[in-house]
Structure 1
């Protein structure tokens, strides 16, 4: 029966591929930013409704949820895709180039959305074989504020209650046709911080009469690096990056203030709490020693994405059925990028995985780049894997 299901999934994938490819091109040509995905959501809802799938719209502003009810009673599995694009002018020479100036799909979310619609088409054809329900979640705003938590708060995990969740990301550092898995911590919490150091401005020729916030900022940045290299347990990875510093206007004036911002990336919840506390301790001591003051603000973004071992192993079995063991690989190295699928993983046992889009190992595809582009054929891998995982979870 397993082989029959897998072969049927592949044949349905071939059947629906032209439509899924056309959907991907539509989404790519009409990119929309976070919480502005009105046209994308409309197209998603129309596609689901045309299939006869129960559809809800306007969840967390632009989110869409479809529900496929199986022939038999059973658990509910959630499959998720993100829909938003990026503020970037497209330079990739493709026939379906972005028609919106300054906005493009440079991270593959057009493929995530189209791929999940493809999985929906497959699963809808096979609903008589499902022992339970499939909830199809099309989420806004992964790139910025994060739409997963607002959708959860709007009740997406209930009615019917979700028992497990799966999602995937097209990945430019992985050869196309490959599926990559990771047990446990997979992606980091991408928290942000902003700092303002206030000193006392003055003439650059008389620094003794001023309190120079530029020198103080330099000391603070240097001390921040020792938090990771000398104060933190080295077996618990973390990154503190100051990625913006702004202060002063001209060569002969010491400014009153310096502003900085950056990111904190960790996989451990205790380390996530400890690092900002330690950063503030550094700020307090360095500014007090120099007669300055500071403002410090941390914006907690998504939590670390922690895969459930059993769900990740289920994805492996499903992917091996489809593609063979040589196209399914494990990695022991987590990724410092952030992903708000983490909120779903906090609620139910979940697994997130990567689908390769690089033409070969020597030619990675750069995400968030104006020339970001990938082969439509990779849609088949994502739609087949999501469909097989859903069926295997419900019918295990």
Structure 2
């Protein structure tokens, strides 16, 4: 199907992106230097609102404490296209050596949400400055607390879509495994589900010299961890994707004492809702068996998780075809697999037809990856993303 974006509109988008790219990079660096954790992005939210005020765009702020939702051309025709950018940082001490490194001790934009915020502001700017060339409608959502704190769910609970609900949502994440100037996509799963869990193993404390008079939760924990790892190896089909990780174990205070309890914390990640459910059931079943075998009491608690991020095929095709027209076939990469990382964009994509992109951001001066203390990105990703997403928003909003 031919693009609905005219050559003239496309040229205008390119011109606007060229005009604002330097400012967007400055914004990204300022946010990088002043990172804030989830639900505490007070300065970040204020900067977003100040920018939108100068742009002359209507918005709601204070959604889920620090979230912002801006409306572009709300009286326009066509479908309402939502664009989501996350704004929070991580509790990581920065060791990047950047001139604009974090000034907030122990807090760092190690996942590139500073760039995501700049991209969302850029998309809002392009759609606003297109004027009459954008006849559709858009909502740009600046979401707090993506990093495991439930920011998307909190915005939904706080009524971000109560007045106007997007017909389509577009999401994106920078991707250090692809070079700047490229776009990545996957036809099925973009990001995995994530389900955190806590396990408490209760035993009976005693002297290490008399184990028969105790019930040892450490031995039980060892067996439980080992058997849990067999779930993926022996219960999940080899061509399906699943990971079970135990990331934290606590128990005991002395080398010669058997403790009363051991606690474990972990997470399940899958690309399938069926595998997700089956893996939870398997952990509970194994825990029951280990408890019987070791005479312990084991409690498994699954905390609120997030689902799989999947793109709707027809929306994804429109976005990918548009990106190919803009960037060239060689710069739009079909990824061989989805990520086992999670993204709470799933809260939107599970409710609204959506598409999600990976934005090539591989740093040219360092070996790094998301959530590393030396993280940086190729800032070309900002202009590339703004251009692609703005085009897609125009096409999707004005399409039938």
2:178–2:361: 8 Å Cα contact kept in structure 1? yes
**Greater shift after overlay, 154-163 or 386-395?**
154-163
The one of 11, 33, 36 equivalent to 2:37 is 33
Q: How many residues align?
A: 395
Are residue 106 (structure 1) and residue 106 (structure 2) matched? no
Partner of 1:52: 56
The residue aligned with 1:73 is 77
Does residue 94 of the first structure (1) align with residue 91 of the second (2)? no
Structure 2 runs not aligned, ≥5 long: none
Distance in 1 of aligned mates of 2:367 and 2:12: 32
Aligned to 1:293: 297
1:256 corresponds to which of 235, 256, 260: 260
CA RMSD of aligned residues (A): 1.7
Which of 166, 178, 183 in structure 1 is aligned with 2:182?
178
Other-structure match for 1:381: 384
Farther off after superposition, 28-37 or 91-100: 91-100
The alignment partner of 1:104 has SS state of: coil
CA distance in 2, matches of 1:338, 1:24: 23
Distance 1:198 1:72 in 2: 61
Deviations 1:108-135 (A, max 9, x none): 0000001110111111111312232110
Q: C-alpha displacement at 1:204, in angstroms? A: 1.5
**1:336-358 deviation per Cα after TM superposition (whole angstroms, max 9, x unaligned):** 10000011111111011111111
Match of 2:370 among 367, 372, 378: 367
Match of 1:124 in 2: 128
Cα–Cα, structure 1 residues 257 and 395, in superposed 2: closer, same or farther, change >3 Å?
A: same
- Is the Cα contact below 8 Å between 2:79 and 2:398 reproduced in 1? no
Give the CA deviation at 1:155. Answer: 2.7
Deviations 1:6-59 (A, max 9, x none): 222111111011221121112111110000011111110110111110111001
Question: Is 1:392 the counterpart of 2:390 in the alignment?
Answer: no
Indicate which of 6, 15, 18 corresponds to 1:14: 18
Kept in 2, the 8 Å contact 1:78–1:165? The answer is yes
Separation in structure 2 between the aligned mates of residue 295 and residue 191 of structure 1, nearest angstrom: 16
8 Å CA contact retained: 2:9, 2:133: no
Mapped to 2, the partners of 1:246 and 1:161 lie a distance apart of: 45
Which whole-Å CA distance do the structure 2 matches of 1:298 and 1:76 have between them? 36
The equivalent of 1:242 in structure 2 is 246
Distance in 1 (alpha carbons) for counterparts of 2:135 and 2:324: 22
Contact kept in structure 2, 1:82 and 1:142, CA below 8 Å:
yes
Partners of 1:72 and 1:38 lie apart in 2 by 31
What SS does structure 1 have at the residue aligned with 2:35?
coil
The question of whether the paired residues in 1 share the 8 Å contact of 2:189 and 2:311 is answered with yes
- Cα distance in 2 for partners of 1:49, 1:18 equals 19
Please name the residue that 2:172 is paired with. Answer: 168
The question of whether the paired residues in 2 share the 8 Å contact of 1:200 and 1:212 is answered with yes
1:201-212 matches, within 5 Å, as 201-212=205-216
Paired residue secondary structure (1:188): strand
Give a deviation string over 1:188-208, Cα, whole Å, max 9, x none: 111111111111122212222
Q: Residue 332 of structure 2 aligns with which residue?
A: 328
Give the Å deviation of 1:153: 2.4
Look up the SS of the partner of 1:310 in the other structure.
Answer: helix
Q: How does 1:341-356 map to 2 (within 5 A)?
A: 341-356=345-360
Distance 1:292 1:243, change over 3 A: same
Q: Could you give the per-residue CA deviations for residues 78-123 of structure 1, whole angstroms, max 9, x where no partner exists?
A: 0000000011111112222211111111100000001110111111
Runs of 4+ displaced beyond 6 Å: none
Alpha-carbon contact 2:272-2:308 (below 8 Å) kept: yes
1:251-308 Cα deviation digits (max 9, x unpaired)? 2111111111111001222222222222111111211222111121111221111111
Change (3 A) 1:72 1:61: closer
TM-score (norm 1): 0.96
CA distance in 2 between partners of 1:201 and 1:87 (Å)? 35
- Whether the 8 Å CA contact 2:80–2:165 is kept in 1: the answer is yes
Following superposition, the deviation at residue 60 of structure 1 comes to 1.1
